């Protein structure tokens, strides 16, 4: 069934790109780990139907974006004029990533000390360090209310409102315009443009424009976290980098077999992000996702686990970046379930992973089996017809336990 869905998604993209820029619209970015109108709409379309009420909801919501303008605020740009560089790196940052003298990138495991690299960093926490390294520019998005934009509504067609008038597209356009103007105004000469790559619309749109304006530049993407079970988002398309780096031979095989990439497009390297995994670190831990939907399914399946296994000594681990209220509520629910089911049960050390997350592969590569609670069996679970070398056994409808046949298949450290 999963392979059939992959083929349906390819057909959906082929139809979409006839009239829509698929490097820009989020309606070509199918991420099931975060609930959105985009993912719901794509899910409907690839399964051969469409919700009329969902389309109306999207149109109404997008019309509200007429009152907002996305603006990129830059910090430290004056210190980076007329630099001689080889590579531009676009990544994300938090205030904690800055030392006195350098920035440390969590995704690429790199310091900013090499002055031949120019770092463009999207601030995730909107906090700016007092001292910014010379070859670093911090970027922050600011939403500006602009009532005059509403007059443009009468000039727009339904296609534009539906596919492009949303915050993801507006951010992509603003960020691309800033980067393009900066490169051209400062006459920056560079050989390559690198991103920790997640195939997000803004990343594809920037790569697409670099390919058009600077065709000799090498565009590179490092899949820093590996693929996740719902792998459609990594389909080769307009705006994909010319070269992509992955840290597992199994990822490369999946991308060649199912996602439209060619042999010369992909290079397998040792993980830049991960060090050899310690088995005991993951035991007796419950890992929360970045985001989730359908909380009732998660709660029901966790309650079933709490009745089977003794989870009294388990530690709950938040996602390192997520600050969503849903995760706070889920954490409280899990704590209550563990406290309410303390009668003697089956002993367990299995790590438990909730939702869509790359940490499943970290756990498997550490030598542990892992229990996975998921929303959608087709999109979110690990099917061994695609994820070869992973043995799967169902515990109940939305819960499975996985085992890896051989280490270093998915993460090479």
DSSP letter for each residue of 377-391: HHHHS--TTTSTTEE
Alpha-carbon span 401 to 332, nearest angstrom? 24
Contact (Cβ atoms closer than 8 angstroms) between residue 277 and residue 247: no
Output the CA torsion sign for 369, 374, 380, 386: positive
How many Å apart are CA 33 and CA 375, to the nearest integer? 9
Distance CA 408, CA 247 (A): 9
**Using CA atoms, how far apart are residues 29 and 171, in angstroms rounded to an integer?**
15
Residue found by looking up tokens 């490092």 in the block: 222
Tokens of 391: 């043995």
- Please report where in the chains the tokens 């060649």 appear, as a residue: 256
State CA 225 to chain mean position distance.
9
Domain ranges of the chain: 2-70+140-268, 279-404
Higher pLDDT, 197 or 34: 197
**CA atoms of 386 and 391, how far apart (whole Å):** 11
Per residue in 321-351, pLDDT tens? 666 666 667 888 888 888 887 666 777 899 9
C-alpha–C-alpha distance, residues 158 and 164, integer Å: 10
| pLDDT digits 0-9 by tens, 131-143 | 999 899 999 998 8
pLDDT, position 321: 67
Q: pLDDT tens, 198-241?
A: 999 999 999 999 999 999 999 999 999 877 777 888 999 999 99
Angle at 273 between CA 268 and CA 277, to 5 degrees: 95
| Helix or strand (DSSP H, E) at 177 | helix 167-185
């Amino acid at each position: 069934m999963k392979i059939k869905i992959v083929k349906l998604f390819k057909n959906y993209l082929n139809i979409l790109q006839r009239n829509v820029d698929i490097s820009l619209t989020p309606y070509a970015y199918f991420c099931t780990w975060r609930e959105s109108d985009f993912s719901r709409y794509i899910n409907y379309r690839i399964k051969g139907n469409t919700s009329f009420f969902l389309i109306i909801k999207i149109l109404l919501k997008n019309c509200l974006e007429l009152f907002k303008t996305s603006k990129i605020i830059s910090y430290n740009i004056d210190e980076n004029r007329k630099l001689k560089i080889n590579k531009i790196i676009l990544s994300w940052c938090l205030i904690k990533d800055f030392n006195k003298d350098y920035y440390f990138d969590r995704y690429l495991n790199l310091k900013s000390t090499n002055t031949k690299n120019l770092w463009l960093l999207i601030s995730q926490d909107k906090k700016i360090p007092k001292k910014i390294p010379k070859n670093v520019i911090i970027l922050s998005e600011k939403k500006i209310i602009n009532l005059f934009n509403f007059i443009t509504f009468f000039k727009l067609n339904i296609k534009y409102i539906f596919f492009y008038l949303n915050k993801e597209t507006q951010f992509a356009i603003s960020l691309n315009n800033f980067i393009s103007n900066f490169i051209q105004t400062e006459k920056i000469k560079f050989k390559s443009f690198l991103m920790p790559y997640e195939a997000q619309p803004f990343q594809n749109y920037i790569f697409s424009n670099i390919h058009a304006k600077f065709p000799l530049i090498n565009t590179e993407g490092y899949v820093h976290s590996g693929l996740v079970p719902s792998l459609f988002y990594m389909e080769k398309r307009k705006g994909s980098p010319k070269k992509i780096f992955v840290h597992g031979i199994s990822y490369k095989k999946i991308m060649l077999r199912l996602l439209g990439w060619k042999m010369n497009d992909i290079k397998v390297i040792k993980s830049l992000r991960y060090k050899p995994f310690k088995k005991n670190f993951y035991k007796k831990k419950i890992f929360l996702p970045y985001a989730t939907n359908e909380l009732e399914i998660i709660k029901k399946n966790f309650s079933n686990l709490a009745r089977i296994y003794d989870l009294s000594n388990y530690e709950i681990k938040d996602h390192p970046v997520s600050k969503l209220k849903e995760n706070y509520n889920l954490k409280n629910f899990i704590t209550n379930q563990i406290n309410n089911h303390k009668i003697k049960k089956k002993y367990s050390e299995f790590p438990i992973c909730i939702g869509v997350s790359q940490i499943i592969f970290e756990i498997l590569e550490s030598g542990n089996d892992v229990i996975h609670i998921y929303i959608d069996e087709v999109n979110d679970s690990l099917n061994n017809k695609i994820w070869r070398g992973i043995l799967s056994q169902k515990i109940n409808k939305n819960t499975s336990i996985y085992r890896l046949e051989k280490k270093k298949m998915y993460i090479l450290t």
